[in-house]
Chain A
Amino acid sequence: GNSVTQMEGPVTLSEEAFLTINCTYTATGYPSLFWYVQYPGEGLQLLLKATKADDKGSNKGFEATYRKETTSFHLEKGSVQVSDSAVYFCALSGSGGANSKLTFGKGITLSVRP
């Protein structure tokens, strides 16, 4: 079945540091890939998505590229801010397209120090 593996956390960075959060996946077919974010006290929000190989999703300075050859979708940001402190989840959709059920990784907590 489908699965998503995220790097172990938590991650603590200083403001303006470079961020990479690793995500690899196992799936049949051609899933779409997502990063969701959960800010303290709030619900899950879509951060970015990519629906086919080599697509790059981007939003709020975050980027992730769908790499089929390495089955990865690593999240990056060049300069993090305190307001980026949150829990980040990598997810993939089933083979029925981007609106099929989602399979999530465990999530990783990011804390950014001023």
Chain B
Amino acid sequence: DTGVSQNPRHKITKRGQNVTFRCDPISEHNRLYWYRQTLGQGPEFLTYFQNEAQLEKSRLLSDRFSAERPKGSFSTLEIQRTEQGDSAMYLCATGRSSSTDTQYFGPGTRLTVL
């Protein structure tokens, strides 16, 4: 148990619907990352926060994706107007902003878009 929790663990939705995922970090971790993993591939970086500030977004993150971390604790990732290509495992990882620390991953949210 890494201490990072994600909800829901599974989400099935119809194309065109909006979905929101939540990540709760290890309490003392000020950095929070979102990754996406498709079948047979390694995780791909989407975005990250230091405290409440979103410091970097990948070009993979289309305008339909938005992430927030309003109080520097939990984070949400919202996908609007879902497409079948959004089906993937969405992973959250957290860590401290020291240069030698490690990222700890949550169990992920598996999204299936029908």
Q: Is the interface on chain B under 10, 10 to 19, 20 to 34, or 35 or more residues?
A: 20 to 34
Please state if A51 and B100 are interface contacts (CB–CB under 8 Å): yes
* Total A-B Cβ pairs within 8 A: 64
Report chain B residues within 8 Å CB of A4: 42
Write the chain B residue with the least CB distance to A109.
B40
**17 extra A-B contacts, CB within 8 A, seeds A91-B42, A99-B103, A103-B45:** A32-B100, A42-B107, A43-B2, A43-B106, A44-B43, A46-B103, A46-B104, A49-B102, A99-B95, A99-B96, A99-B97, A99-B100, A104-B44, A106-B40, A106-B42, A107-B40, A107-B42
Report chain A residues within 8 Å CB of B106: 43
Report chain A residues within 8 Å CB of B56: 101
Partner-B contacts on A (CB < 8 A): 4, 32, 34, 36, 42-46, 49, 51, 89, 91, 96-99, 101-107
